[in-house]
Chains A and B, each alone.
Chain A
């Protein structure tokens, strides 16, 4: 019988801007909170996978947490860094090597849009010099094409943001905690047509840690284990339309999200209709809309009706981004994917407070997407 994996402890450092606290220290605080949640100590951790994009090598945090000699592996995988840490921890337990360990993600970015290191991304200097190396341009162009093909309205883009900030206002860990109306979203500065300022998330700060254990030992640590039924990461295929691409092929491929989603559903042995609550990558509001279909939760174009009817609200048929998503939490790259899992654990435990979805959720889904065309999906159940 194969070994199952449970999440037995979760910890988070508040997302947003925390002056005077380094990204690494936010990761350390998240680790301490996750261990406390599991009733464990740092020296109970047999292994760790951790990463950040801009806040240092995760394994150096042992000098603050304790030099216990554990196996600590750094993960660097762009926007899927947190998801990759979790994937690695999941498989480490499934393989039977260790019984209990931790996945850690944290970050701290400078203000404003990401400054792209074109060399590091395998691109020539001319690309950034010419004014092309901006992630925001990709998001504007992808949703502009999508709206053209599938009839998504500007109003739906704004409603996604309005929902994110309303949910964020109910989340004590969120950065943006003030509701913003659909009209205010539409009236904010046009950054990358058709996307306005309040339709974009911002690079930010934060940390998340998750303690994982063999499922058959989970009850030693918690009376509410949440089972990790699937964790999949996929990169892009030929023909997919991705961020930071000087060119794309004429032929079309659906992209890494579709592949990661299918792989995760196959691992879990369930389908999209079984999911009660989902956290989907919402780098900007159009991404949430497109990712609803790419993850298999609706047909392309159906989002227009679903959003206008309020189906993705906390009390709706299919709640999406209940913690406010990237839009309200910001995007500390290393931590972002783990934040989604943290939220789903709260929802499945019934501990999400004012933003608890009312449908007694049993199965939850996370999806992270980012440069240079990578997606990570998890499926959790109680």
Chain B
């Protein structure tokens, strides 16, 4: 099955080692995600695109225990087959903390401070039969 990204411009695509696309403030060096033109730290309007790191540490987390409302959610919302998924913030050293799905959803296996790496995960299948993927972070084995 062919894969398509949930959207353009949020992560590099196609890529064997996908990276999130953010912005960096030319004036103060602040990082932003997703891409934006104004800097919330110094109010500068001069930012440039930057690829964010693929590895970081888990800053905090939760587990999405019930199906989100759809729309906006594009994944499975059938209460019978819905599978809980982890959500967390990953601290990318020297850059920013990123909110993302986690591939792990067992509270016993999630620890603040653990090493995480970016991956892509399937969300659903679109009308053309493509697998729609979004970004997530997985514990580093």
Binding site for B on A (CB under 8 A): 112-113, 115-116, 118, 124-134, 137, 140-142, 144-145, 148, 189-195, 238, 245-250
Which of these, A116, A124, A193, A238, contacts B107 with CB under 8 Å?
Answer: A193
Cβ of B103 within 8 Å of any chain A Cβ, yes or no, is no
Q: Would you give 17 A-B contacts (Cβ < 8 Å), ordered by A?
A: A124-B34, A125-B72, A126-B134, A130-B6, A130-B74, A130-B75, A130-B134, A134-B64, A137-B62, A145-B59, A145-B60, A190-B65, A195-B62, A247-B31, A247-B96, A249-B30, A250-B94
Q: Which 6 A-B pairs have the closest CB atoms?
A: A128-B72, A140-B62, A126-B7, A145-B60, A129-B74, A247-B33
Whether B72 contacts A248 by the Cβ 8 Å rule is no
Cβ distance A44 to chain B, nearest Cβ, rounded Å: 43
Cβ distance A114 to chain B, nearest Cβ, rounded Å: 8
Docked complex: B34-85 residues within 8 A CB-CB of A:
34, 40-41, 59-66, 68-69, 71-75, 85
With CB as the reference atom, state the residue of chain A lying closest to B93.
Answer: A250
Binding site for A on B (CB under 8 A): 6-7, 10, 22, 30-34, 40-41, 59-66, 68-69, 71-75, 85, 87-89, 91, 94-101, 107, 112, 123, 134-135
Whether A131 contacts B62 by the Cβ 8 Å rule is no
Whether B65 contacts A246 by the Cβ 8 Å rule is no
Whether B75 contacts A131 by the Cβ 8 Å rule is yes
Whether A193 contacts B63 by the Cβ 8 Å rule is yes
Known interface pairs A112-B69, A141-B89. Does A124 touch B99 (Cβ–Cβ under 8 Å)?
no
Whether B87 contacts A141 by the Cβ 8 Å rule is yes
Known interface pairs A128-B73, A193-B107. Does A134 touch B68 (Cβ–Cβ under 8 Å)?
yes
Cβ distance A104 to chain B, nearest Cβ, rounded Å: 29
- The complex places the Cα of A247 from the Cα of B134 at a distance, in Å, of 16
Which of these, A124, A125, A131, A193, contacts B68 with CB under 8 Å?
Answer: A131
With CB as the reference atom, state the residue of chain A lying closest to B96.
Answer: A247
Q: Which residues of A contact B112 (CB under 8 A)?
A: 144-145, 148
Known interface pairs A189-B65, A193-B63, A249-B97. Does A141 touch B88 (Cβ–Cβ under 8 Å)?
yes
Whether A248 contacts B96 by the Cβ 8 Å rule is yes
- The complex places the Cα of A198 from the Cα of B132 at a distance, in Å, of 35
Which of these, A113, A193, A246, A249, contacts B62 with CB under 8 Å?
Answer: A193
Whether B71 contacts A128 by the Cβ 8 Å rule is yes
Whether B87 contacts A131 by the Cβ 8 Å rule is yes
- The complex places the Cα of A124 from the Cα of B21 at a distance, in Å, of 14
Q: Which residues of A contact B89 (CB under 8 A)?
A: 141, 248
Known interface pairs A130-B74, A148-B112, A193-B62. Does A113 touch B99 (Cβ–Cβ under 8 Å)?
no
Whether B65 contacts A250 by the Cβ 8 Å rule is no
Interface centre among B7, B31, B73 (most CB of A within 10 A): B73
Interface centre among A128, A189, A193, A249 (most CB of B within 10 A): A193
With CB as the reference atom, state the residue of chain B lying closest to A189.
Answer: B65
Cβ distance A228 to chain B, nearest Cβ, rounded Å: 32
- The complex places the Cα of A115 from the Cα of B7 at a distance, in Å, of 20
Known interface pairs A131-B87, A131-B101, A141-B88. Does A191 touch B73 (Cβ–Cβ under 8 Å)?
no
Cβ distance A191 to chain B, nearest Cβ, rounded Å: 5
Cβ distance A315 to chain B, nearest Cβ, rounded Å: 34
Cβ distance A130 to chain B, nearest Cβ, rounded Å: 4
